[in-house]
Amino acid sequence: MVTVIVGVLGGLVIVGWGLLAWASDRRLLWYLAPLALAVVVLVGLGWVWWAVGAVLALALGTFGVLAYAGADEPALRTQDPKGAPSTRRWALAAAAPFRVAVAEPWDVTVHPILRRLYRARLYRRWGVTSRDELLMTLEQLWRSRHDDDGTDLLVRPGRGEVVRRLGEPEPALEPVPLTNGQRARVAGLVGAEPAEGGDAEAVEVVIGNYRLWELVPFLHLSLAGATVGWLSEPETDSLLAHAAVELQRRFGSWRELAQAFHAGYLLWRPTPDDDYDQRLRGALTILLSASDGPWQLVAWDMPIEPPVENSLPWSVPAE
């Protein structure tokens, strides 16, 4: 009877832990998986009191991770701060906002222990549940870099608006008004101040090629696909190299890329109201200011090895 009761309680705790781990970005929850397995094994063996200990440890561990608000706050972590320059490392630096946002090492291509967490993220944020869907999403992001309905952004912090411009000498499109929250974020992004005695509303900053911000999530999705096992190492390296070459060709510095990323994300998610969006913006601040961060360790203009032509995996059949 006691074994049955412990088994039922253990099952409930495991289900609760599993749901929270799946719905949360707290990677520390997945490190509790061995405890969940221990509960099942100990109950199966009839070692009741050991099972009770494992159940309590799982429950308390889950509560502790959720209660500790700073567990996954943006943080700069690296596995190899003196890593040799390479195309892959450059691409990892470009994808760093997504890794720094959740305090994961920015210079690791694959996180095997976080495979389930990455599967959950892919489904929750992109609706991706298979290799085919991942490749379709990657292809859409890759091709969208040519859909420049607004090649440049004219940012007017004083007026609280941004304007998409088709490029010189094309005319500008209709201004997009900003909310108060967006207005403050844009002002902090461009850091534009009027000249002494100048008109604040006349200040205008150009963010070029802002649509290419989508290549940053393209890189992140490629790394996620490698982590969950849907992309082989050659496929991953090819995707990283294609995006790295394109970004380096179209921007002139990490700061320019950060501005395009921030502006693009701002318009894509005009009313960020979840913790992840807050952490992603915090990650950009860290990356631009940290002296030991990837955007200081990895030279923007380092030589990048061009990818093999026609090596993108769109036509590779699903396994």
Question: Which pLDDT score is estimated for 88?
Answer: 94
What confidence category does residue 284 fall into, taking pLDDT thresholds of 50, 70 and 90?
Answer: confident
Q: How far is CA 58 from the centre of its chain?
A: 28
What confidence category does residue 210 fall into, taking pLDDT thresholds of 50, 70 and 90?
Answer: confident
What confidence category does residue 26 fall into, taking pLDDT thresholds of 50, 70 and 90?
Answer: low
H helical segments located in 213-253: 215-228, 233-250
Which of 61-75, 151-165, 252-266 has the least mean pLDDT? 61-75
Identify which of 289, 297, 264, 301 has the alpha carbon closest to the alpha carbon of residue 141.
264
Identify which of 274, 276, 154, 289 has the alpha carbon closest to the alpha carbon of residue 210.
154
Q: Are 74 and 283 in contact (CB under 8 A)?
A: yes
Q: Are 89 and 298 in contact (CB under 8 A)?
A: yes
In a 3-state reduction of DSSP, which class is residue 128? coil
79-102 pLDDT, tens per residue?
A: 888 888 899 999 999 999 999 988
pLDDT at 203 over 90: no
pLDDT at 312 over 80: yes
Distance CA 102, CA 123 (A): 17
Polymer length in residues for the chain: 319
Other beta carbons less than 10 A from residue 283's beta carbon: 24
**Mean pLDDT score across all residues of the chain:** 78
Question: Which pLDDT score is estimated for 317?
Answer: 45
pLDDT at 303 over 50: yes
Buried b (16+ CB within 10 A) or exposed e, 140-169: ebbeebeeeebbbbbbbbbbbbbbbbeeee
Question: Which pLDDT score is estimated for 195?
Answer: 45
pLDDT at 250 over 90: no
Question: Which pLDDT score is estimated for 143?
Answer: 84
Question: Which pLDDT score is estimated for 278?
Answer: 75
What confidence category does residue 57 fall into, taking pLDDT thresholds of 50, 70 and 90?
Answer: confident
What confidence category does residue 72 fall into, taking pLDDT thresholds of 50, 70 and 90?
Answer: low
Q: Are 219 and 91 in contact (CB under 8 A)?
A: yes
pLDDT at 245 over 90: yes
Q: Which long-range contacts (CB under 8 A, 24 or more apart) does 229-238 make?
A: 229/115, 230/130, 230/131, 230/134, 231/131, 231/134, 231/313, 235/313, 235/316, 236/109, 237/87, 237/88, 237/307, 238/307, 238/308, 238/311, 238/312, 238/313
More reliable by pLDDT, 144 or 271: 144
Identify which of 158, 203, 202, 153 has the alpha carbon closest to the alpha carbon of residue 183.
158
Distance CA 144, CA 112 (A): 30
What confidence category does residue 131 fall into, taking pLDDT thresholds of 50, 70 and 90?
Answer: very high
pLDDT at 264 over 70: yes
Domain residue extents for the chain: 2-67, 87-147+212-315, 152-207
Q: Are 111 and 119 in contact (CB under 8 A)?
A: no
* Residue at token pair 């701060």: 81
In a 3-state reduction of DSSP, which class is residue 81? coil
Question: Which pLDDT score is estimated for 108?
Answer: 92
Q: What is the mean pLDDT of residues 224-231?
A: 95
What confidence category does residue 69 fall into, taking pLDDT thresholds of 50, 70 and 90?
Answer: very low
* Residue at token pair 């999530």: 217
Looking at the chain, the whole-number percentage of residues with pLDDT higher than 90 is: 26
Tokens of 203: 């200040």
In a 3-state reduction of DSSP, which class is residue 142? helix
111-127 pLDDT, tens per residue?
A: 888 888 889 889 888 89
Which of 43-57, 192-206, 279-293 has the least mean pLDDT? 192-206
**HSE-up of 252 (CA within 13 Å, CB side)?**
2
Looking at the chain, the whole-number percentage of residues with pLDDT higher than 70 is: 74
Q: What is the mean pLDDT of residues 302-312?
A: 85
